[in-house]
């Protein structure tokens, strides 16, 4: 029998389901979670002492390092400075090796005998030699020592082994003697000649001597730029000074009636007297020589030649040199790399300056040491500033 309409409507009514009960873990699951939590707490409790011990250990290590540094501060700082300076001293030799390479005519340092005689001419050429000194001299304080030496010079000045004229820009040029007529009223020109320093002494004449024609050419340009009064006597594009064509003893610059001169000369030969030396008893007030005793065959003879032209008693010979220093470790390094230095620069930087001056005193009657200084703590005593005079004969 088919269902009635009332039965069909009742069949279409959806049945409602009961809401799910909230989750309640079983007693067994709850106990397992509690057990895991307890184990984690135990692990953390075990790790905490270990972490604390690690922190304590690191703290003790830091304290021990601090105490060690405080106790040995000076030796550690000194060692660091020594390593830095020695590295800087060796750096030019490394650069020489990397840049120079080897050629058929290249002479190795091992092939240089310890008694090789310097020629007074830089093997690498004057321009390259001059450029290679800019940064090292600034860092090592040599530039400041050049300035001090030049500002102490006075009167008639002779500079032996003038080279490329690295000292020319530091002299205090007398404005009355070296200011050109057309700018004598200019205060700026006067201050330029005095290098911003109105203190005396100032130089009244200047003679520079060097064996290298190429170096003299660069020094000539330095003079033209520094001293406007000589610009008219030095063309901008002056001819090169050829060593083969310009004889030793030739004046390559003579300006202001001999007040400014550059002479191609050999320091191993008698040195020229001042331009007005036709009168008897005319000598130089100051004889300057920087880094030349290391570059000549006979440094004692060079000192004797300078002593022969300096004014007795009141005149001064001022030397700035490099040589053996205070520490044996530094001297051993100078000895080790002396051959490499000689190959590139043509000088022996490990000569004993004190011994050279002592021998010169024995050879030159009346030669006296006014002062000996080893300035520049970065140099470890390898930089020497020596002042000499010649006592007047009685």
Q: What is the pLDDT of residues 358-378, one digit of tens each?
A: 999 999 999 999 999 999 887
Topology classification of domain 119-390:
Rossmann fold (3.40.50)
Q: Estimate to the nearest angstrom the gap between the alpha carbon of 22 and the chain centroid.
A: 86
For the record, the structure tokens of 93 come out as 């030799």
Q: Estimate to the nearest angstrom the gap between the alpha carbon of 95 and the chain centroid.
A: 15
The predicted structure's pLDDT at residue 325: 92
The predicted structure's pLDDT at residue 394: 72
Judged by average pLDDT, the poorest of 175-179, 236-240, 291-295 is 175-179
Residues 6+ apart with CB under 8 A from 257: 275
Q: How many CB atoms lie within 10 A of CB 270?
A: 13
Does position 99 have pLDDT exceeding 70, yes or no? no
In eight-state DSSP terms, residue 8 is H
Closest among 392, 223, 365, 370 to 304, alpha carbons compared: 365
Q: What is the mean pLDDT of residues 10-28?
A: 53
Residues pairing with 157 in the sheet? 206, 286
Q: What is the mean pLDDT of residues 9-32?
A: 52
H or E element that contains 275: none
The predicted structure's pLDDT at residue 96: 44
CB 172 within 8 A of CB 197: yes
Better-predicted residue by pLDDT, 85 or 382: 382
Q: How many residues does the chain have?
A: 394
Q: What is the mean pLDDT of residues 10-22?
A: 53
Quickly state the pLDDT bin for 163 (edges 50, 70, 90). Answer: very high
The predicted structure's pLDDT at residue 97: 43
Does position 229 have pLDDT exceeding 60, yes or no? yes
CB 284 within 8 A of CB 311: yes
d(CA 168, CA 165): 5
What residues does each domain of the chain span? 55-101, 119-390
Reduced to 3 states, what is the DSSP secondary structure of residue 28?
A: helix
Q: What is the mean pLDDT of residues 288-302?
A: 94
Q: Estimate to the nearest angstrom the gap between the alpha carbon of 271 and the chain centroid.
A: 30
Does position 124 have pLDDT exceeding 90, yes or no? no
Judged by average pLDDT, the poorest of 22-36, 95-109, 326-340 is 95-109
């Amino acid at each position: 029998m088919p269902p009635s309409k009332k039965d069909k409507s009742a069949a279409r009514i959806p049945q409602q389901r009961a809401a799910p009960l909230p989750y309640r873990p079983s007693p067994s699951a709850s106990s397992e979670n509690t057990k895991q939590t307890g184990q984690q707490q135990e692990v953390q409790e075990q790790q905490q002492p270990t972490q604390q011990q690690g922190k304590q250990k690191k703290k003790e290590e830091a304290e021990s390092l601090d105490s060690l540094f405080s106790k040995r501060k000076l030796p550690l700082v000194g060692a660091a400075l020594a390593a830095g300076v020695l590295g800087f001293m060796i750096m030019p030799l490394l650069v020489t090796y990397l840049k120079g390479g080897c050629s058929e005519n290249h002479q190795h340092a091992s092939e240089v005998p310890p008694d090789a005689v310097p020629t007074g001419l830089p093997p690498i050429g004057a321009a390259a030699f001059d450029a290679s000194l800019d940064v090292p001299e600034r860092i090592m304080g040599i530039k400041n020592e050049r300035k001090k030496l030049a500002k102490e010079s006075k009167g008639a000045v002779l500079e032996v082994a003038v080279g490329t004229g690295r000292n020319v820009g530091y002299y205090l040029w007398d404005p009355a003697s070296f200011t050109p007529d057309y700018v004598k009223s200019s205060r700026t020109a006067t201050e330029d000649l005095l290098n911003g320093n109105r203190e005396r002494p100032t130089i009244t004449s200047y003679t520079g001597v060097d064996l290298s024609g190429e170096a003299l050419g660069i020094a000539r340009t330095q003079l033209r730029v520094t001293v406007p009064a000589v610009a008219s006597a030095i063309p901008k594009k002056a001819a090169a000074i050829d060593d083969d064509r310009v004889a030793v003893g030739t004046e390559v610059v003579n300006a202001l009636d001999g007040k400014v001169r550059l002479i191609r000369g050999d320091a191993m030969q008698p040195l020229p007297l001042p331009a007005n030396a036709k009168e008897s008893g005319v000598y130089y007030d100051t004889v300057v020589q920087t880094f030349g005793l290391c570059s000549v065959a006979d440094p004692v003879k060079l000192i004797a030649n300078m002593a022969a032209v300096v004014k007795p008693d009141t005149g001064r010979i001022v030397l700035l040199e490099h040589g053996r220093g205070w520490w044996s470790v530094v001297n051993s390094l100078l000895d080790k790399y002396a051959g490499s230095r000689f190959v590139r620069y043509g000088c022996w930087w490990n000569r004993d300056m004190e011994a050279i001056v002592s021998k010169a005193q024995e050879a030159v009657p009346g030669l006296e040491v006014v002062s000996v200084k080893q300035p520049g703590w970065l140099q470890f005593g390898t930089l020497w500033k020596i002042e000499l005079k010649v006592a007047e004969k009685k």
